[in-house]
Structure 1
């Protein structure tokens, strides 16, 4: 082999080694980028899983709270029905109570139950501060 051929082979070999080195560096950068993306995606998935778990826990708590509210409402409805039935029984059994129940309320009581439409807390406070007089409790009612 001539020295010229050996030199060409040596240059070719150096070029191949340089190209391979460039490939290794390029693949190393690609690997680092892929690992960075993998870390980012893993963090995003973990964050999503944490949010899903928290939302599921909150949904369970809301379901339980709704169940308790429904039970409370059912109990209140039963109590209201029982009171209504007791009142109806008392009215059916007692003529004096029936007469008293059918009479109109005194004017002062009716006035206490009447309230204007409030648009805010200021209106309500002004209405409370107006100082509407109530009849003297020592006086007999117009009842």
Structure 2
């Protein structure tokens, strides 16, 4: 009988130990589930950010393609316009003479004026005697 009581006590102690160990494991499982939930939320947030960036990248690629097509069309139009101008110049003697004639001094001075950073710079330039000529006036100062 002593042996049976001893075996019963050992069985009860083993059962109590198993219950305690089960409780500890349940707490560990709950902590692991919380960590998994946090990590899953982080992964979902990262995935959403990646999708957003991929979408923006695709939109930029579409815009870039549209700009490249537009630039190509503009270049083609500019070349066609230049060819037309050259053809007209070579066909028309009056136009060819007009194109080769030197610009008037007033126009040349307009093209030669410096770039101005502000209105004060322009006023200073004009006050130094660099005024534009009135139509009909001579180019001499």
Q: Same fold (TM over 0.5)?
A: yes
| TM score, norm. by length of structure 1 | 0.75
- In the TM superposition, what are the counterparts of 1:58-137 in structure 2 within 5 Å? 58-114=56-112, 124-125=117-118, 126-130=120-124, 132=126, 133-136=131-134
Residue 16 (structure 1) aligns with = 14
SS in 2 for 1:124: coil
5+ long unaligned stretches in structure 2: none
Consecutive unaligned residues in structure 1, runs of 5 or more: 118-122
Deviates more, 1:9-18 or 1:43-52: 9-18
Assess, with a 3 A threshold, how the Cα gap between structure 1 residues 29 and 111 changes in structure 2: closer, same or farther: farther
Quote the offset at 1:31 in angstroms: 0.7
Greater relative contact order structure (CA < 8 Å, 6+ sep):
1
How many residue pairs match? The answer is 134
